[in-house]
Amino acid sequence: MNKFYYLIPFAFLGLFLLPAHKAEHQISTYHAKLWNTSGPSGGFTGAPGENNCTNCHAGAVQDGNNGENLLTFNDGQNEVALGVARMMTLNFTSGAVKNGFQLVALDENDDMAGAFIITDPANTQLRSQGLLGRQYVTHTSGGTSQSQWSFEWEAPSSAEAITFYVATNRTNNGNNSSGDVIYLSSHTFSVEEGDPSANISEQWKNALEFGYLVHKHQLVINGELTNKADLHLNVFDLKGKALLVQNLGKYLEGELQTSIDLPHNMENGIYVATLFLNNQPISKKFMIHR
């Protein structure tokens, strides 16, 4: 008597499994490819009207606004320049061996804002969601091995404020959809001299200053906080490469004076320091000269 064996794909390797509306396609092709590491379809950032990664991953959802998801403009500016294309970088500070992400940019009406341009096709790619009319940046298969992704974003010609909704996935690399941790965050940038409540400078009684100590190779930060805050620091070169990502901890209202050791391989030149105050960034350039 002939025996038949049926292979049931209980375990799926990778990030962001295909959503339910593609189930028919999965069933017809599972014998050729049992899993998907090439990134999700659009619509899983947790933005208004969207699902998030737990639509396919049986993991916990955490608040990514506590420093896990750090999104910055590479030129150190903190406001949107209408109609201008600029490089951006997402740093996932809680990343593991395999990670994933997806993000979208929306205006004050929750409509798609601007357009993304892929500059690193080996690690990032575009996705879309036709019903919502939104465009997304997400990881590729190669991009799951890192926790920092860069891309270009062209701002719209008009808007009052732009909010980027970000979902990141720290996987346990366990070849199944359980045990992962999803971090959701939102990052609002004012438009040039737009809404002052979105400007982090109001959180400082005095101007924030970054300096460089030559003999100690340290970055010095001086300022005065108006409220208690969680602080994180990123240091980039002018090409947008992150050289330092550090959690500075919690600080109370009042004077802030701290020094941070810089990587020894940083050569003379100009760099951008981005300080995140409760996940809102403020950036300044500083020079290393020794």
Strand 178-190 and strand 58-63: the pairing is: parallel
pLDDT-above-70 percentage for the chain: 77
Residues paired with residue 137 on neighbouring β-strands, in sequence order: 103, 126
Whether 35-190 shares its CATH topology with 200-288 is answered yes
CB count in 10 Å sphere of residue 116: 22
Residue 250 near residue 228 (C-beta atoms within 8 A):
yes
Q: Check whether 88 has a pLDDT greater than 90.
A: yes
The whole-model pTM stands at: 0.60
Q: What is the CATH number of domain 35-190?
A: 2.60.40.4060
- Please report which helix (H) or strand (E) contains residue 29, including its range: helix 23-29
- pLDDT (tens digit per residue) in 143-186: 999 999 999 999 998 899 999 999 999 887 655 555 589 899 99
Determine the distance from the C-alpha atom of residue 192 to the mean position of all C-alpha atoms in its chain, rounded to a whole number: 22
Across the strands, what pairs with 106?
112, 163
Q: Over 70: is that where the pLDDT of 119 sits? A: yes
Domain ranges of the chain: 35-190, 200-288
Phi, psi at 27, each rounded to 5°: -65, -40
Residues in the chain: 290
Q: Which one of 1.10.10.10, 3.40.640.10, 2.60.40.3080, 3.40.50.300 gives the CATH number of domain 200-288?
A: 2.60.40.3080
| pLDDT per residue as tens digits for the range 216-275 | 999 999 888 888 888 888 888 877 777 888 888 888 888 888 999 999 989 998 888 888
Query: When comparing pLDDT for 68 and 42, which is higher?
Result: 68
Distance, CA of 30 to CA of 19 (rounded, Å): 14
Name the residue with higher pLDDT: 103 or 179.
103
> Which pLDDT does position 45 carry in this prediction?
92
